[in-house]
């Protein structure tokens, strides 16, 4: 009989790891981490050590092989490199929702779809209504985006008293919002296109399709084709993070074809492994083959879009997005002259568009569509719930700051836009929480 009593240290380690994993899957936590990173960046950029903040993100990072050398500052590798993985996960979320989620049924998806369009159009009009100069008008798309992680995290703080369909509606709206944001980036914030880059990107995508056709299921095999696609999109002049969206949309939603179902294969190889392990004369090396086949069969139990997204989610939520916030939220208040008309106008326009324009656009368009009989509210979703969704959609954070970096060249205007996004996101989060608490108490 084997001794199953584990050492005390190992028991404590396993218990701590289990609690840590549970902690990482609490949706509100990723939003809190993001907020902490943004606050840290603001404090750092306005402290006596502000010079070190600027120096860090302007540190050149060089990649090269032989005579092929490519050097860019750390800020570029965060915004254009790491954020590609963020957009890859966004693409996978869109792919999953279209296949089996809130976007799979056209009737079910219509209301969040038109609400998202309203939530993009009205903030853009509010921003443009300030009558900016030509350079500042390029920021019209900054207040049109919703931060999924932050918005859903704030909603999670309200607990299970909020109907599940409110969360589904918010997720669907935010995902459609992301689709529109990606299209806006592709159409309005890409420079003059160099068509030679399309050939390189097409080569990368052809390699992805080829690997999928021959049944390669390992995600690591797609790293090089993905990198080729990224380089190709960068060469075209479009924003390279769009490569992540394309690759995410191409990720299969079903397991690769096998001669038997993955569950049958897992059962068969498990039985073979157990049989060999119980054989007293069996050499340990003889277990390698069934173990290898068992691992492959276990991998195919989940479709690639679920498997890869689940593997990347913790890295995106707790590493990539906080690093992005740390690199981009550090606005030096002293370096932004809010007394000047242009920066002051940009900041106010972004704040008003997110805090007021977002909920007005979402609520008014939803009401109009329901009133005309073209849509109906989902089960369990009331107008109070739609108002909560509209308020939380004003949290622009990640995507809004990302678009601001593309829209503005002038540091003062960019800083003002970021301050507007940060301020509006905090106000929208507080308004959403207050409205949610009042809603819960009333219920």
User: Which pLDDT score, from 0 to 100, does residue 385 have?
Assistant: 92
Measure the CA–CA gap between 190 and 240, rounded to whole angstroms: 10
CA dihedral 232, 237, 240, 245 (to 10 degrees): -90
Measure the CA–CA gap between 392 and 177, rounded to whole angstroms: 13
Higher pLDDT, 7 or 247: 247
User: Which pLDDT score, from 0 to 100, does residue 337 have?
Assistant: 66
Q: Are 90 and 245 in contact (CB under 8 A)?
A: yes
- Residue matched to tokens 């028991």: 11
Least confident of 80-94, 113-127, 222-236: 80-94
In 3D space, the residue among 422, 424, 427 whose CA is nearest the CA of residue 45 turns out to be: 422
Measure the CA–CA gap between 440 and 437, rounded to whole angstroms: 5
User: Which pLDDT score, from 0 to 100, does residue 167 have?
Assistant: 83
The answer on pLDDT for 289 being more than 80 is no
pLDDT tens digits along 111-147 = 989 999 999 999 999 999 987 788 889 899 999 988 8
Helix (H, G, I), strand (E, B) or coil at 200: helix
Please state, as a whole number, how many other Cβ atoms lie within 10 Å of the Cβ of residue 5: 7
Q: Determine the topology of domain 27-62+70-77+105-185+316-442 in CATH.
A: Na+/H+ antiporter like fold (1.20.1530)
| Bridge partner residues of 69 (DSSP) | 64
**Displacement of CA 348 from its chain's centroid (Å):** 26
Measure the CA–CA gap between 427 and 443, rounded to whole angstroms: 24
Q: Using 50, 70 and 90 to split pLDDT, how confident is the model at 56?
A: very high
Report, as an integer, the average pLDDT of 275-298: 73
Higher pLDDT, 56 or 166: 56
Q: Using 50, 70 and 90 to split pLDDT, how confident is the model at 251?
A: very high
The answer on pLDDT for 425 being more than 70 is yes
**DSSP secondary structure string, 263-295?**
HHHHHHHHHHHHHHHH-TT--GGGGHHHHHHHH
User: Which pLDDT score, from 0 to 100, does residue 1 have?
Assistant: 45
Q: Which of 29-33, 160-164, 201-205 has the highest mean pLDDT?
A: 201-205
pLDDT tens digits along 263-281 = 877 888 788 777 777 775 6
Report, as an integer, the average pLDDT of 238-258: 86
Answering whether pTM is above 0.75, one says: yes
pLDDT tens digits along 309-362 = 989 988 988 899 899 889 988 887 776 666 677 788 899 999 999 999 999 999
Q: Are 78 and 323 in contact (CB under 8 A)?
A: yes
Please state, as a whole number, how many other Cβ atoms lie within 10 Å of the Cβ of residue 303: 19
User: Which pLDDT score, from 0 to 100, does residue 221 have?
Assistant: 93
């Amino acid at each position: 009989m084997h001794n199953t009593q584990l050492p005390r240290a190992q028991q404590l380690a396993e218990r701590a790891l289990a609690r840590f994993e549970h902690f990482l899957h609490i949706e509100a936590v990723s939003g809190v981490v993001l907020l902490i990173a943004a606050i840290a960046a603001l404090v750092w950029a306005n402290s006596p050590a502000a010079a070190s903040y600027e120096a860090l993100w302007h540190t050149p990072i060089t990649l090269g092989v032989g005579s092929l050398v490519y050097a860019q500052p750390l800020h570029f590798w965060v915004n254009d490199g790491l954020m590609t993985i963020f957009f890859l996960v966004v693409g996978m979320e869109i792919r999953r929702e279209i296949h089996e989620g809130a976007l799979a049924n056209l009737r079910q998806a219509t209301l969040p779809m038109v609400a998202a369009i309203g939530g993009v159009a009205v903030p853009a009009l509010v921003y443009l209504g300030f009558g900016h100069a030509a350079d500042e008008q390029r920021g019209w798309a900054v207040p049109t985006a919703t931060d999924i992680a932050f918005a859903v995290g704030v909603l999670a703080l309200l607990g299970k008293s909020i109907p599940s369909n409110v969360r589904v509606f918010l997720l669907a709206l935010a995902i459609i919002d992301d689709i529109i944001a990606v299209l806006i980036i592709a159409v309005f914030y890409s420079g003059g296109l160099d068509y030679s880059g399309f050939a390189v990107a097409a080569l990368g995508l052809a390699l992805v399709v080829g690997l999928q056709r021959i049944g390669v299921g390992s995600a690591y095999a797609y790293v090089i084709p993905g990198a080729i696609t990224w380089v190709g999109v960068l060469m075209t002049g479009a924003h390279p993070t769009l490569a992540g969206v394309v690759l995410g949309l191409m990720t299969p939603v079903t397991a690769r074809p096998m001669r038997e179902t993955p569950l049958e294969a897992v059962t068969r190889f498990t039985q073979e492994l157990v049989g060999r392990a119980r054989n007293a004369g069996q050499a340990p090396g003889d277990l390698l083959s069934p173990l290898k086949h068992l691992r492959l069969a276990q991998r195919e139990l989940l479709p690639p879009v679920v498997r890869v997204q689940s593997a990347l989610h913790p890295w995106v939520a707790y590493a990539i997005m906080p690093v992005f916030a740390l690199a981009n939220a550090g606005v030096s208040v002293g370096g932004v002259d809010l007394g000047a008309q242009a920066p002051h106008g940009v900041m106010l326009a972004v704040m008003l568009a997110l805090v007021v324009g977002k909920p007005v656009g979402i609520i008014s368009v939803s009401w109009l569509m329901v009133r005309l009989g073209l849509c109906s509210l989902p089960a369990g979703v009331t107008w109070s719930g739609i108002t909560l969704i509209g308020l939380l959609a004003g949290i622009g954070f990640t995507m809004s700051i990302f678009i601001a970096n593309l829209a503005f060249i002038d540091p003062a205007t960019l800083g003002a836009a970021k301050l507007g996004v940060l301020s509006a996101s905090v106000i929208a989060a507080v308004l959403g929480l207050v409205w949610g608490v009042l809603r819960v108490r009333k219920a």
